[in-house]
A and B are shown apart, each in its own frame.
Chain A
Amino acid sequence: MASSTEGAPQTVASDGKSNGVAVETPPTLQVSKRLEKFQTSIFTQTTGLAIKYQALNLGQGFPDFDGPDFIKEAAIEAIKTVGKNQYARGYGIPDLNRAIAARFKKDSGLDVDPETEVTVTTGCTEALSATMLGLLNPGDEVILFAPFFDVYEQLLAMVGATIKFVTLRPPDFSVPEKELREAFSSKTRAILVNTPHNPTGKVFSRKELELIASLCIKNNALAFTDEVYSKLIFRGEHISIATLDGMYERTVTMNSMAKTFSLTGWKVGWAIAPPQLSWGLRIAHSNLTFSTSTPLQWGAVAALQAPDAYYVDLAQNYKRRKDYLVENLSSIGFKVYEPHGTYFVMADHTPFGFDDDTAFVGHLIKNVGVAAIPPSGFYENASDGKHLVRFAFCKDDETLRKAVERMKIHLKPTSLKSTNDSAN
């Protein structure tokens, strides 16, 4: 950090007023190198444009409907109770740790100790940041599947990890075995697996997870999994890699309330990991946020006790929206890659004659009145994603219907047109 500044240092009199000497030039504001890769998020940019052009927002992945009343009531009850507006135990209120362990047992069959193997965090985002800060060193190699949720790349850059990308490609975004084997080596510290997968909607199959597991074990690597969409499955089943032989001891399994319970703003998430890994992420977590919002943790306790019918309904409702959007996007002229999970669908926009995803989305927002996310920023090589666009269907039926209508009217495939429109 440059320590010299121009001009004589100023003396400040004890009453806090300047003694008349000119104020020196401000310090060189040097921010850390770890910010080099960061820019304003594509989600923020897209939402900004959507608002500006009054487009229907099928871009940012949060619902325009709200979570269930019984959960909100539990949080409200906590707010009204003395003590429940104060610091929670750093790694989670005991009731929530127990509820998370119980739910995980039900879903995965694994018994975990709520006290030493479950850590409550400020959303899955903080589970990820704490995991990386607590368990990764600068220079560690981490394997990341592209396309990826952009925060993964940025967090890995923040901790100074070296990323090895393995690209998932249409039509089914399957794990390329050869490429994956080449990415792994004795230098591999961890692999990050997001399943069900944002933005492709892919659900990693047992075979794919077994391949990843065998490579983790062979190379003594960790697995960090983001399973926030685990309850939004339309085809196949959700499998936690931690349940495979030899994997629990080396896996951090992360999840949150946000997508399952349509409460993305509550920021209650968790990490499940064996004690030694939990220790590392707890250390980081305790210094990043100290603890997670207490009344909302009480809401989460109620949420995790939701009956099976809740999850069945959730998946069915999303499936219905998925079917609606996929069918209509196809009829409008997109080549659609039908998702097996999440509330996202990727589609190829080439038929509409735009050079890349940014140009296409710009046109879609300004001239059609629908916002979607250009996914090229989620790839190591932007060109891998420039033909694609990501739509979110976590929106109420009316919003989806209107969006489809707008696209039907204003979006026409063309094989010849090359547009002069450029998206900003």
Chain B
Amino acid sequence: MQGFDCQNVLSRRARSFKLSPIQQLSLLAQRCNAINLAEGFPDFPAPLHIKEAAVAAITADFNQYRHVQGVCEKVASAFEMAHGVKVDPATEVTLCCGQSEALAAAILAVVEANDEVVILEPAYDTYEACTILAGGKPVFVSLDPPFWSLDLKKLDAAIGPKTKAVIINSPHNPTGKVFSKVELADITNLCCKHGCLAITDEVYEHITFDDVKHVSLASFPGMKERTIVTSSLSKTFGVTGWRIGWAIAPSALTSAIQIIHTKLTDSAPAPFQEAALTALQSCPDFYKSLKQEYQFRRDYIEYVMEAINTLGIAFVPGCAFFNKSGAEENLKFHVSTDLAKKGLQMPRNLKGSNDASENLVSNPYKHRYIRVAFCKDISTLQAAKLALRRQCK
């Protein structure tokens, strides 16, 4: 009997991909009994009122295919309140299975074969992967350490006639950077000048520190009509496993995103759509204490990371969960393997091109950084501190 020829079984799109190392590290952490500061999800409970809403939805039989338009309405009004941009919930919001799917649907909706998509590095790995899935070509522009600043000339040079979109993740994973108004204004100028779209990932929108405010690129003049904003419940409400997210975009793009979404997954989980209504009604105090809680953890982890930071440079992130610390390059392997064993993760996807040597020249810093998540219970962070001190003395 003819054996199955599995040589070329993967699609061309899929061939270049590796599975994300984040989850590999979590498995390694589990095996070594390490403290997991790698994956970006909380180890403390989700807010009670939201969980109760989900339980109530399941009990009340909200369990068949549903589209809860009320969530679109709340997303639209929250966006208007935060950024002063009017959004029509009937035509400009798509509910998706997490921000992950919102982004995938957005990219599949607008990126054509051979279109270029500009991605700022270091970047969450799905931006590149979704671009390739859509047949597009990722073009990388590096943010410059230690403050992860954006070199406008580099960005301007990277955007060209083939550029369909620029992806802007702010607040930024993995660096914790919050793009300033000046930077966003500059990006606005470039997008308008080049006539390209912007796709934003704003999942950490409510987690900023030190009175730094998150501003959406879509709020800049000329941007609403060319921007797809993506976000979700996951980080704000500590429910990364619920898979409720959304895309906000002008109506022509929204109807495209909506159509793609219905082909990819059909709909977001019904009971959690219901619970989203409750979540998105949370009072201002909720968001205030969210920031405070994370800021406390941020300050704590800074203190912890100083212990292993031999260069003495500790960049204070403006926001989000992550903390990139500088570490001696020649300690790279020692640090990375060992810290991996302690559940600390190396930055992923800092590659900007297929040429590894070019990479090292243009991005000599990439191996010197690790990303640490501090969306963890204080007891977890305390245990990490003790483990690190033992290791690094």
Contacts and interface: CB of A to CB of B under 8 A. Distances in A.
Nearest to A131: B11
Contacts of B252: 29, 31
Contacts of B14: 133-135, 279-280, 283-284
A293 B243 contact: yes
Interface in A49-73: 60, 62-64, 66-67, 72
Contact of A62 (B62, B65, B221, B259): B65
Interface string A21-46: 00110111111111100100100000
Contact of B64 (A72, A84, A263): A263
Contact of B66 (A87, A151, A265): A265
B193 interface: yes
B4 A16 contact: no
A130 to B, nearest CB: 9
Interface residues of A, number: 97
Give chain A's interface secondary structure class.
Answer: loop
A87 B192 contact: no
Given A66-B63, A86-B41, A293 B241 contact: yes
A20 B181 CA distance: 18
Contact of B263 (A64, A86, A89, A154): A154
A253 to B, nearest CB: 15
A30 B225 contact: no
Nearest to A2: B195
Interface residues of B, number: 99
B263 A158 contact: yes
B241 A129 contact: no
B126 interface: yes
Contacts of A284: 11, 13-14, 133
Given A32-B256, A137-B11, A290-B100, A16 B195 contact: no
Nearest to B225: A26
B194 A295 contact: no
Contact of A220 (B4, B253, B262): B4
A403 interface: no
Interface in A1-18: 1-5, 9-18
14 contacts: A17-B221, A26-B250, A34-B260, A38-B259, A72-B59, A90-B20, A125-B266, A151-B262, A267-B268, A280-B14, A289-B97, A289-B264, A289-B265, A296-B269
Interface of A: 1-5, 9-18, 23-24, 26-35, 38, 41, 60, 62-64, 66-67, 72, 75-76, 79-80, 82-90, 122-123, 125-126, 129, 133-138, 151, 154-155, 158-159, 217, 220, 222, 245-246, 249-250, 262-267, 274, 276-277, 279-280, 282-284, 286-296
Shortest 7 CB-CB contacts between residues of A and residues of B: A265-B270, A294-B241, A26-B225, A31-B256, A66-B61, A287-B129, A86-B41
Given A3-B160, A151-B263, A291-B241, 6 more contacts: A1-B112, A15-B185, A33-B112, A87-B240, A246-B4, A276-B6
